Chain A
Amino acid sequence: MRYYGEEALGMVETIGMVPALEACDKMLKAAVVELISYENVGSTLVTILVKGDVAACRASVDAGKRAAEQIGKVTAANVIPRPIRIIGDIVSCHDVDIY
């Protein structure tokens, strides 16, 4: 999903794929957020990025982080309430809908 930085950005980064998918599932179910992208940086770090309202992103990231921590390692979790536009462009480089 193309993201222009017009909404809040939520992200959870884990070591490995399995905790990332678990986090992704729980993030999408916990609040009204949409999956923007998914990124595997190559050194086992996998990041899930979602967009939505600030409160929705916060709830979503909290739920994702909690779920992933139970089955693996979470290296980072963050919510950017109002990113600059260029952040949207960086994130959209890994757009999950384009393959």
Chain B
Amino acid sequence: MAKYNALGMIETFGLVFVLEAADAMVKAADVELVGYENTASGYISVLVAGDVAACQSAVDAGVKAVNDMDGNLYSSVVIASPHPDLYKITERYRLDKLLPYKD
């Protein structure tokens, strides 16, 4: 993953809400969806990357989308200039690594 200025993430209880959040986030600002993580027992998070302002508006839009459907939003955050070691964790949840295809 290329180094981005900021990371934005949203965690919800259930896949339906996280998909809605991801859709709203990517449509709202110039961000790239870089990760998807399921901690089991229902909490699922999506991770976007881009400029700080873009991540902030993406997360705002995602939070609003989930709240509009009375969704179960657990947590959301924007991390500006993330510590380099953070990528050791987020790299594991890159979508292209998670996809079950060889090519």
Interface residue tally of chain B, by bracket?
20 to 34
Nearest B residue (CB) for A99: B92
Contact A72:B83 (CB < 8 A) given known A16-B43, A17-B39, A96-B88:
no
Instruction: Please tell me if the beta carbons of A96 and B89 are within 8 angstroms of each other in the complex.
Output: yes
Instruction: Please tell me if the beta carbons of B83 and A25 are within 8 angstroms of each other in the complex.
Output: yes
In the complex, A64 Cα to B28 Cα: how many Å?
Answer: 30
Contacts of B45 in A (CB 8 A): 16-18
Count how many pairs of residues, one from A and one from B, have CB atoms less than 8 Å apart in the complex: 77
Instruction: Please tell me if the beta carbons of A16 and B86 are within 8 angstroms of each other in the complex.
Output: no
- Where chain A touches its partner, the secondary structure class is mixed
As a 0/1 sequence over residues 20 to 45 of chain A, the CB contacts with chain B under 8 angstroms (1 = contact) are: 01101100110000110010101111
Q: Which residues of A contact B (CB under 8 A)?
A: 15-19, 21-22, 24-25, 28-29, 34-35, 38, 40, 42-46, 71-72, 96-97, 99
Given contacts A19-B11, A35-B88, A71-B75, list 12 more A-B pairs with CB under 8 A: A15-B74, A16-B43, A17-B11, A21-B89, A24-B86, A28-B83, A35-B85, A38-B89, A44-B41, A72-B11, A96-B85, A97-B88
Q: Which residues of B contact A (CB under 8 A)?
A: 7, 9-11, 37, 39-43, 45, 74-77, 79, 82-83, 85-86, 88-92
Closest 3 CB pairs of A and B: A28-B83, A18-B11, A72-B75
